[in-house]
Chain A
Amino acid sequence: MTCLQLQKPTLVGNLRRRRGIPEIERCSDDERGLKVRMCGLTAAIAHSLTAVLKIAGEHIEAMIAHAREDHPDEACGVIVGPEGSDVPTRFVRMINADRSPTFCRFDPEEQFELYNAMSAAGEEIVVVYHSHTSTEAYPSRTDIALASEPQAHYVLVSTAVSGASDGPVSVRSYRIVDGGATEEEIDVTE
């Protein structure tokens, strides 16, 4: 499968990055000593537990198919799942209201319908995906500035190389919290 082959270099990068102790700088100066170490440890544990997206192969393929169909405009959508589960189960294509090759925004009416459906079913957004059609699968400054689903995995699909046709695409996942993006591993399940 194309996407699996392409994820290997990404995976290596992720594992390298995870060796460092993350987010220790969040502790304030007056919390040095034991508290700082504990804070770092807690952050490291939380990081190792959450820094992976477990996702079904069919969902990866559905995101790629959507990105190819809408190329050269950006495609966007979500995969929702039971609240608090961190498991993406229901794939929802969304309309890019801007129909633009450089920007995407959910249609406000469709987003509200999604909100109502999720509220009724006890679901939340687990994955937010969108495509980049002329740049790499890395969050843009705009992506980071506007990210507002702290519980979600942000998946970028780049069709910059292949365009709408069959060919190499890259799929990468990030956490975007407090103005920073951290890449994470993608674990493809059945």
Chain B
Amino acid sequence: MSVEVRIPTILRTFTGGAKAVHGNGATLQQVLDDIEARNPGLKDRIVESETLRRFVNVYVNDEDVRFSGGLDAPTADGDVVVVLPAVAGG
């Protein structure tokens, strides 16, 4: 078992086209570090200066992590992480 991370279209260049990758870790931060090792460059598009990028939404099991600890949000085997770039503009 591991944590499934669903990758949006725009970031699939970092995963060889894969829609989802798997990683291990007890927090979102650890999971992102784990998948970064096999998908270099991916984490930088989600995290900036040790915090989530402003225009990237991340959900762990249907919960927006901005309300559950951000990068410290707990994760466990079988969890599903969804990364969704915000749809925004001016």
How far is B13's CA from A148's CA once the two chains are assembled, in angstroms? 13
Question: With A112-B57, A112-B64, A150-B9 as given contacts, are A105 and B86 in contact (CB-CB < 8 Å)?
Answer: yes
Chain A: minimal CB distance from B46 (Å)? 12
Tell me if B90 and A108 are in contact (CB < 8 A): no
Interface size on B, residues (CB 8 A): 17
How far is B75's CA from A112's CA once the two chains are assembled, in angstroms? 19
Tell me if A115 and B89 are in contact (CB < 8 A): no
Tell me if B89 and A143 are in contact (CB < 8 A): yes
How does the 8 Å CB contact mask read for B74-90 relative to A, with 1 for contact and 0 for none? 00000000101111111
How far is B56's CA from A94's CA once the two chains are assembled, in angstroms? 17
How does the 8 Å CB contact mask read for A100-140 relative to B, with 1 for contact and 0 for none? 00111110110110010000000011001010000000011
Tell me if A104 and B86 are in contact (CB < 8 A): no
Chain B: minimal CB distance from A22 (Å)? 20
Tell me if A143 and B90 are in contact (CB < 8 A): yes
The residue of chain B having its C-beta at the shortest distance from the C-beta of A144 within the complex is B89
Is A157 located at the chain interface by the 8 A CB criterion?
Answer: no
Is B1 located at the chain interface by the 8 A CB criterion?
Answer: no
Tell me if B57 and A111 are in contact (CB < 8 A): yes
Question: With A112-B64, A112-B84 as given contacts, are A148 and B90 in contact (CB-CB < 8 Å)?
Answer: no
Tell me if B86 and A108 are in contact (CB < 8 A): yes
Tell me if B87 and A102 are in contact (CB < 8 A): no
How far is B10's CA from A161's CA once the two chains are assembled, in angstroms? 34
Is A147 located at the chain interface by the 8 A CB criterion?
Answer: yes
Is A151 located at the chain interface by the 8 A CB criterion?
Answer: yes
How does the 8 Å CB contact mask read for A74-110 relative to B, with 1 for contact and 0 for none? 0010100000000000000010000000111110110
How far is B19's CA from A124's CA once the two chains are assembled, in angstroms? 13
Chain A residues, CB < 8 A from B87: 76, 78, 94, 105-106, 111, 125, 128, 148-149
Chain A residues, CB < 8 A from B90: 102-104, 140-143
Question: With A108-B64, A112-B84, A115-B82 as given contacts, are A146 and B57 in contact (CB-CB < 8 Å)?
Answer: no
How far is B57's CA from A76's CA once the two chains are assembled, in angstroms? 18
Residues of B within 8 A of A (CB): 8-10, 55, 57, 59, 62, 64, 66, 82, 84-90
Residues of A within 8 A of B (CB): 76, 78, 94, 102-106, 108-109, 111-112, 115, 124-125, 128, 130, 139-143, 146-151
The 22 sampled A-B contact pairs (Cβ below 8 Å) are A76-B89, A94-B87, A103-B89, A103-B90, A104-B88, A105-B86, A105-B87, A106-B87, A109-B64, A111-B86, A124-B9, A125-B87, A140-B90, A142-B88, A142-B90, A143-B90, A146-B55, A146-B86, A146-B89, A148-B86, A148-B87, A149-B87
